Chain A
Amino acid sequence: MDYFLSEDQMMIRDLCRQIAEERIKPVRAELDEKEQFPRELMKSLAQADLFGLIIPEQYGGLGGGCLENCIAVEELSRACVGVSTTFAASFLGAYPILLFGNEAQKSKYLPLIASGEQLAAFALTESASGSDAGSIQTQARREGDEYVINGSKQWITNGGEAGIYSVIAITDRSKGARGASAFIVEEGDPGFSVGKKEIKLGIRASATAELIFNECRIPADRLLAKEGMGFIVAMRTFDKSRPGVGAQAVGVAQGALDEAASFARTRKQFDKPIITFQAVAHMLADMATKIEAARALVYSVARYVDSGAKDISKAGAMAKLFPTDIAMEVTTNAVQVLGGHGYMRDYPVEKMMRDAKILQIYEGTNQIQRNVIGQELNKEYGRGK
């Protein structure tokens, strides 16, 4: 398929593919096995300027948009979703600053993120608040020229590895969803520490940790936008980032198809390559078709987002929902095509299957994506009635 990418977009794709082949593939199994953070790989991505992809040029980036991000993330995910999650989470942490930061905040933090000198992270989820983000407990109170944050965040990607954290906390409990605010917290801020590091089913190269705020004092100018805009910051961030999760799904599914199709051509049973059995060939055909449909959806939505469209919630949810569901299906079927080999750690598909699962869960579970799409449909069809 030809998606009529520009010359620059093809360059991004080819470079990411080269990095994935030369740098990521040789180490992915070990990173997974040892649950080891890919520090060296992050340095490679930084040297290749990839952390600057979506950061405007005046802040040291390349000024790319959602589509450029999706192209890069897809290629990295084809080799390892643990690595691509680490990379993409830095942009997740950067979006609040990019979208809502003032000039001083942007010029202080974005160049650090663009150069890859520091990773960023986004912290919303808490132990008692997952899908129901409105129920967060972490509080921030104003004291003179400072905010004082108390509470904890759970399962934060790049926790303990990032230097810059975008944190959502309640500033006025009486206002409900309008009482949350977004802050920038830096590694080393007094009262800020990193707690438990999680042990996971998949994306084991990525770091997932608890963040603890114990009378954490930050200067008042770390507030993003205005008090009360915390959930707007979070929702706009997810609107931008969700196609990227779809791109991760397309990448890992493509990686699984690559493995399954070449295995099926060489593995012989009953004196024939197993790809000649219609049952196997049809499985591969369905995999390839669904991947292409998912890619087309992700690229279209990414272009729509880049057009500056405002009503991107439904499209963004679709671009996360469909690809991540088919990625789970495709990676599971890839294991099936490889049979017993697929179940073994010697082959990469069992890891892909473990990795794919997270895509249906983070940045809003797929049930929540369906809720978003359903609510939008209800609005659309209710209009004028």
Chain B
Amino acid sequence: MKIIVCLKQVPDTASVKLDPVTHTLKREGVAAVINPFDLFALEAALQLRERVGGQILALTMGPPQAAEMLREAIGYGVDEGLLLSDRAFAGADTWATTAALAAGVRHLGGADLVICGKQAVDGDTAQVGPGLAQRLGLPQVAFVKAIREASAEHLVVERQMDDGYDLVDLPLPALITVVREIGEPRPPSLKGKMRAKKYEAPLAGAAALGLAEDQVGLKGSFTQVVEVFAPGAAGQREMLPGPAEAAGRAVIDRLVADKVILLGS
């Protein structure tokens, strides 16, 4: 099975700051990591390769430093990567992002299965997976929590719902987005990490992908960021003085009064 995993490099949420003037994310000097949800996509791909064999390709659109993330992906056991990077890609919304990613998938010769994370922790729209499927003309199942069956022709997957799950028989080629329940991401492997040390991901820009400048990036986007701001802290803080037992008792009394907890008799 040929699997393409879409990985997005995002700022480490632990250290994100907004530029007070432009209201955009300050990416300089902020550690970049693989979008945490995409680690589940990667884990799903690794599990599938263990089950049915095949090849895993990692695809990302991002600035040149996203090559480092692809190296990390090689460390987890991915076979090859492809970095879509071009000044023209900057400022892409989900529409322009899927245009570039769809061209990237075609550039890689297509796949039996494309796997995306549920959503990116920075953009947070959860639109890229479904949008990409639409552009590629692939059937899609979002929020997959388990893959019950896998063969060259189809998958049987569980789609997470509010009140349980749907069982979907999905013909391949197809696209899925996966959620946490798919399985705890494994640690990297030693052989992968040794290979990663020397790995240089191939790079493709707009021209190589056959995309015109007005199809990608800011020019290819319908939406613009008007303002991004951190909402002020809304909570109130109160210190409860005194010894631990009295303070603990006060907390319980308050929680009972606010009907957060009920005390049994």
Q: B194, A22: Cβ atoms under 8 Å?
A: no
B-facing residues in A1-48 (Cβ within 8 Å): 7-8, 11-12, 15, 18-19, 22-23, 44, 47-48
B125 at the interface (CB under 8 A from A): no
| Closest-CB distance, B53 to chain A (whole angstroms) | 15
Q: Which residues of B contact A12 (CB under 8 A)?
A: 190
Look across to chain B and name the residue whose beta carbon is closest to the beta carbon of A46: B189
Distance, CA A48 to CA B188, complexed state (A):
6
B193 close to A (CB within 8 Å): yes
With A and B bound together, what is the CA distance between A274 and B137 in angstroms?
66
Q: Is there a chain A Cβ closer than 8 Å to B191's Cβ? A: yes
Q: Is B164 an interface residue (CB 8 A)?
A: no
Instruction: For B189, list chain A residues within 8 Å (CB).
Output: 47-49
Interface size class of A (residues with CB under 8 A): 10 to 19
Which of these, B190, B192, B194, contacts A50 with CB under 8 Å? B190
Is A53 in contact with chain B by the CB < 8 A criterion? yes
Bound CA span A22–B189, Å:
15
Q: B190 contacts which chain A residues (CB < 8 A)?
A: 11-12, 15, 48-50, 52-53, 62
A22 cross-chain contacts in B, Cβ below 8 A? 187
A50 neighbours in B (Cβ, 8 Å):
190
Q: Closest CB-CB distance, A38 to chain B, in whole Å?
A: 15
Q: Does B106 contact A (CB under 8 A)?
A: no
Pick the contact of B187: A7, A8, A18, A53 (CB < 8 A).
A18
Contacts of B188 in A (CB 8 A): 15, 48
Contact B187 A23 (CB under 8 A): yes
Which residues of B lie under 8 Å from residue A19 when comparing CB positions?
A: 187
A47 touches which of B186, B193, B194, B197 (Cβ 8 Å):
B186
CB distance from A227 to the nearest CB of B (A): 38
B contact residues around A15 at 8 Å (CB): 187-188, 190, 193
Complexed CA–CA distance, A150 and B30 (Å)? 65
How close is B50's CB to chain A, nearest CB, in angstroms?
Answer: 9
A-chain residues with CB within 8 Å of residue B191 when the two chains form the complex = 49, 52, 62
Residues of A within 8 A of B186 (CB): 44, 47-48
In whole angstroms, what is the CA distance A11 to B187 when docked? 12
Of B189, B190, B191, B197, most buried by chain A (CB within 10 Å of CB) is: B190
* A-B contacts besides A44-B186, A49-B191, 15 pairs, CB < 8 Å: A8-B194, A11-B193, A11-B194, A12-B190, A15-B188, A19-B187, A22-B187, A23-B187, A48-B186, A48-B190, A49-B189, A49-B190, A49-B192, A53-B190, A62-B194
